Structure 1
């Protein structure tokens, strides 16, 4: 038996919701930008979980440690097996393969893609012993080990799809928000590395009252506009007063890009997660294509960078076979 699961990239924070919003996206040209994890049964000669095997492949495999014990998907297997043991479910030795197709430290939820694809593939292989909430908590716990804090703004949209609002409730971690289906999300990865740790360390330890009020008003107004399908209000409020003022200097040519994309007619621009990926929102394909060409010529720093025109990915993690 074998099963493969694809997990899509996501835009963390979505400017207006620091550690609170996340949006799953997928390129309109059909390119699978994300990670694929495959699980295969091993031969009957394998008799214990220690006999499990790990294979690393994909276009960005060379950026990950070759030692399986340092790979996040191998840690998924260990965590999942531990959860199985607590339910008195027999553990099977497996071959687990990670096809890494997105760059690390890109601001597109790279680690979340691996975590989500790993847990969903294992759950499918074992005929779904865990429900969505249990899986989501397992994903969040492992992601927290990597990032140093528990936040679901990449894990939740990557797993569930769509636009997710994180809630401070252990029984209802996230809420799916309505999206604007006619909008295009242009993402541009320049091929420079910005670590999540460095991007968090650059932020201040505290914020003044004015900033906190503005953050709350913008986020509340955005959520309200999503439900009322008020596109103009929603994207006029898509502003980052928490992280972008400090992180923008880590990104190449960011302020120039923002100004140009605004002149092109983009509804909003921002930093995806901790960067360096930039995103822009457009409500017509012509503007999206014009923005894509400008970003290719002016924002990318090598041939390894990329620009994709995306739509919201409402499916989230899904089987590919």
Structure 2
């Protein structure tokens, strides 16, 4: 018995929805940008489970397997299984870490979601989606310091997700503009989630709160009405970007150039340093991609992808 699962990258916040909106995306060329988790049964069920780490960005993760979040997912999943009086097996679980950590692309969420999804599939789905999503959020919250679903939910469910604070529903799917291209540029500079949170003010003015509410409500309303112009005009970050842009080299210059090229919106993906720019014309999106390749990337480890909304979310491959 074996299973292999892919979890896509995501944009947390989506500018206008701090800790409230998340969008799953995938490159249009079919490249699987995200994490893959494989599980297979060990021949001897009496031996302990094993963890294997591979992938293009595995070197940045802890060398001790028990410090890896996928191993922690396995422990949490096994406990939940035993709480349901279900048997667990000795398995080999392998993480293919193919995206950088602290990238603003939901890296830890990718690992957590892929691991829980793969384990649930391996055991023929003993947990319902809401149960599984809560487990994912709790484990990812241990990494980031508090529970936030804005990467976990879209990574798992796909599409654009609005986070809800209700007992029976964590996220609500929203309409998307599927003719749009999301150009993603990771420059390969380090911006830790912790530092990106600490730079934010402890309090905000009443005017900022009003602007935040207007922009978020306007974006959601326009999305439902398929009013692209209004939706992207509302896609402004008044909560985090005015402070976090100081942490990202060349962000302000890049944003100005991308708007000059005709972008519908430009913002910081999650806590950065990845930025996104939205276009509804492929040729212009390609021009933006080329400019970012030459002017925004800080090393050969950086990358640019032209993406569209990923409606599938996490899936078996």
Give the TM interval when normalised to the shorter protein.
Answer: over 0.9
Superposition map of 1:252-267 within 5 A: 252-267=249-264
Paired with 2:45 and 2:91, the residues of 1 have a C-alpha distance of 9
What's the CA shift for 1:47? Answer: 1.5
Q: 1:292 aligns with which of 260, 274, 289?
A: 289
Q: 2:87 aligns to what?
A: 90
RMSD: 0.6
Residue aligned with 2:291, SS: helix
Runs of 4+ in 1 over 6 A off after TM superposition: none
Deviations 1:285-304 (A, max 9, x none): 01110000000011000000
**Unpaired segments of 5 or more residues in structure 2?**
none
- 1:157 corresponds in structure 2 to 154
Corresponding position of 1:135: 132
Following the alignment from structure 2 to structure 1, what is the Cα–Cα distance between the partners of residues 42 and 72?
A: 19
| Aligned position for 1:16 | 16
Aligned to 1:47: 46
Distance in 2, Cα, partners of 1:207 & 1:166:
21
- Find the aligned partners of 1:263 and 1:208 in 2 and give their Cα distance: 31
How far residue 202 of structure 1 moved from its aligned partner, in angstroms, is 0.2
1:243 to 240, 245, 256: 240
- Counterparts of 1:83 and 1:89, CA distance in 2: 9
Which residue number in structure 2 is paired with residue 213 of structure 1? Answer: 210
What's 2:183 paired with? Answer: 186
Deviation at 1:46, TM superposition (A): 2.9
What is the aligned residue count? 317
Q: Return the offset for 1:170.
A: 2.3
Name 1:119's counterpart in structure 2.
Answer: 116
| Equivalent in the alignment of 1:108 | 105
Hey, what's the Cα distance between the residues in 2 that align with 1:287 and 1:221? 26
Distance in 1 (CA, whole Å) between partners of 2:263 and 2:32 is 25
Equivalent residue for 2:28?
28
- Specify the alignment match of 1:224 in structure 2: 221
2:198 aligned with 1:201 = yes
Q: Any gaps of 5 or more consecutive residues in structure 1?
A: none
CA distance in 2, matches of 1:23, 1:311: 10
Structure 2 length-normalised TM: 0.99
Deviation by residue 1:266-302 (Cα, 9 ceiling, x = unmatched): 1000000000000000011011100000000110000
Matched, 1:170 2:167: yes
Supply the distance in 2 between the matched residues of 1:105 and 1:251 (Cα, whole angstroms): 12
Aligned counterparts of 1:40 and 1:106: Cα–Cα separation in 2: 30
Name 1:6's counterpart in structure 2: 6
